[in-house]
Structure 1
């Protein structure tokens, strides 16, 4: 796992209330009550904002609503591209068998669509590698083979460290004309960034969103969920994506912050 993911996991917004409260507790322990109370109060206030209120839901919803599922009846894709991201690599390495975290739908949907379109090749695209050599694409491959999918229809694109490298490698291997008729599968909240990366290499592709974290609303009350830890995780994941959209644009990896209509 690259350093930026580790840094975000350590000091990302989901952990910020904890760090603020810890600083406050240390200040109180060293007899700095005014500083301690300020930090502790800020930590508690931020916890309410991020863990009690549906902040994560409302940050995630526009990301997931950007693309809808296509009409499959008019498609005949030559390639079905699945981006890695749902694999629990440390657990997979320790147990010696595939383990997934919150996004197995990426691969499962890819396999299901590849069976629906028997002429399509299934492309597994990733690049995260543990020190022991365990790769995200290895976990995906073992899973696909384990459910009986044909090895001869699977293609591997590895050694890509981020979403835009995924797009560049897929474009280089398949070509723009093939991609134009192909399908891209990733989590719904990740699709805006992924599509911007394909746009940056002048390639178009049909997006298929999966792994939704939000749900349809009949009223704003429906967005509330009394699960503080889940809400913190939702905020962390959504903000990671929003920051990623901005970071990719600032560093020149994409042409815009948000996909055009």
Structure 2
């Protein structure tokens, strides 16, 4: 179910949709007599590709979503946990650990470490499954956190959570009523806050990785189609689909008067909570047999 959701959502992203539309137009031109229709479809595909890569459109779409929560400011309260949500990685021994993380993940982790250092005694929660790489995203972020000076007893790993829903419920199992700061990309924060609040938590939002900007003075940057503006449109559409799915799921759950739960096997595989061990440090956090849960704090 999880893999199917990812495949379908990927095909519905703006760029794949425009490419599929363009290929459909080519098929009509090359293999049917409906050449005018095919040409029109190709024109729509080209114009659509231009628009989704156009800064005035992409930033106008994404900025309202990103600016719903302000950047984190220090508060005069005790913070118990700072949780950084996963955002993608690769495994490549020939590049530094910082390059194994996606840009979004690196920015999330940097912000999490910045906040953690404001509150001595707080723990850093890192989440994310392996995504088929053999090394969990949480463990990959932990390598970078250790290299940046975070002490290993201050790191907690959630290595099996595949999405925000699972991350929220795993965190709720041990955070409970303690103070939590939630770090994720600004565009993702609205959806993440909903999931964590639904799980019974009341986190303080700490958005980062802001992409959309309105004060771009250079005309050649503002009005020339660019991949970075395409990324903004795709982020907006990805989060919009996520919010639609979230609302639909909640509606179904409310209609059925029960919580929308994954299968038993999914629940059993998403309960792992672990701290980094001394052996992990010696092996540079290489994958190993899962250790006993260390969430009794």
TM bin, normalised by shorter chain, reads 0.7 to 0.9
SS of the aligned residue for 1:209 comes to strand
Distance 1:254 1:140, change over 3 A: farther
In the superposition, relative to structure 1, how do residues 49 and 113 fare at CA in structure 2: closer, same or farther (>3 Å)? same
Does the Cα contact within 8 Å between 2:80 and 2:180 map onto a contact in 1? yes
Within 5 Å, give how 1:48-127 maps onto structure 2: 48-52=50-54, 54-85=56-87, 87-89=88-90, 92-93=91-92, 95=94, 98=97, 99-103=100-104, 104-127=106-129
What count of residue pairs does the alignment treat as equivalent?
A: 248
By how many angstroms is 1:101 displaced?
A: 2.2
Contact 2:69 2:186 in 1 (8 A): yes
Question: What's 1:27 paired with?
Answer: 28
Unpaired segments ≥5 residues, structure 1 = 257-261
Q: Which residue of 2 aligns with 1:246?
A: 244
- Residue of structure 2 equivalent to 1:171: 172
Instruction: From the superposition, tell whether residues 254 and 128 of structure 1 become closer, same or farther in structure 2 (CA, over 3 Å).
Output: farther
Question: 2:41 is matched with which residue?
Answer: 39
Q: What is the TM-score when the length of structure 1 is the normalising length?
A: 0.85
1:166-201 superposed Cα distances (whole Å, 9 cap, x missing partner) = 1111011211x10xx221100011000000001212
- CA-based RMSD of the aligned residues comes to 2.7
Q: 1:111 to 1:117 in 2, by over 3 A?
A: same
- Please give the TM-score of this superposition, normalised by the length of structure 2: 0.75
1:157 match: 158
Q: Residue 17 of structure 1: CA displacement?
A: 1.9
Point out the structure with max Rg over C-alpha: 2
Q: Equivalents in 1 of 2:159, 2:250: separation in Å?
A: 23
Q: In structure 2, what is the equivalent of residue 231 of structure 1?
A: 229
1:142 aligns with 2:113: no
* Alpha-carbon distance, 1:155 to partner: 0.5
Which residue matches 2:268?
none
CA contact (8 A) 1:14 1:233 kept: no
- Is the 1:24–1:35 Cα contact (8 Å) retained in structure 2? yes
Residue of structure 2 equivalent to 1:13: 14
Q: Deviations over 1:123-162 (max 9, x none)?
A: 11222431x5221111111111122221111001121121
Deviations 1:186-235 (A, max 9, x none): 0011000000001212321100010000125499x899352432222221
CA apart distance, 1:79 = 0.7
Q: Can you give the 5+ residue segments of structure 2 that lack an aligned partner in the other structure?
A: 255-297
What does 1:202-221 align with in structure 2 at a 5 Å threshold? 202-217=200-215
Runs of 4+ more than 6 Å apart: 253-256
Mapped partners of 1:255, 1:167: distance in 2: 17
Structure 1 residue 69, shift from structure 2 partner: 2.0
Bigger shift: 150-159 or 10-19? Answer: 10-19
Distance in 2 separating the partners of 1:107 and 1:34: 51
